[in-house]
Amino acid sequence: MDTITLRPASIDDIVDVAGIFARSRAAALPFLPVLHSGAEDIEFFGGYLDGGLITLAERVGVKLGFLVETPGWIEHLYLEPAQRGQGVGKLLVDAAKHRQDHLQLWCFADNLAGRAFYVRQGFTEIRRTDGDNEAGLPDILFGWQRPA
């Protein structure tokens, strides 16, 4: 099997990033409302190129998923639906852990697979909300700290 490589995204990748985002949410998170157009998603993720890091996972030039990270945060982690359970998400999270001493992230409470994934990656629940986010859905704040 070909090796998965990680690299920083560029402006040329943003349309693909937005596409992965839309396909992943539709397949894995059907309970989420669609709040923005594809063009708005492209603009949104493009904004991270200046204020964060978008890491792409690829295999032979095919984009498999991405992680958006800012200091102390995993802002987004989305995979092509067929890539779930293949180790791509773990590679992306491990790379972020390598760069940072602590990380936090939000995960929708109804995203049972996502919650289980983050717990397997060493994240622990910090607190819950009743839906004070754009989607208006309950979510959970998770945290991870590099061991001393």
Q: List, for residues 80-121, the tens digit of each pLDDT value.
A: 999 999 999 999 999 999 999 999 999 999 999 999 999 999
**5 has pLDDT over 70:** yes
Q: CA 1, CA 118: separation in Å to the nearest integer?
A: 26
**16 has pLDDT over 80:** yes
Looking at this protein, which amino acid is placed at residue 48?
A: Y
In angstroms, what is the C-alpha Rg of the chain? Answer: 15
1 pLDDT tier (thresholds 50, 70, 90): low
**63 has pLDDT over 70:** yes
Total-model pTM:
0.93
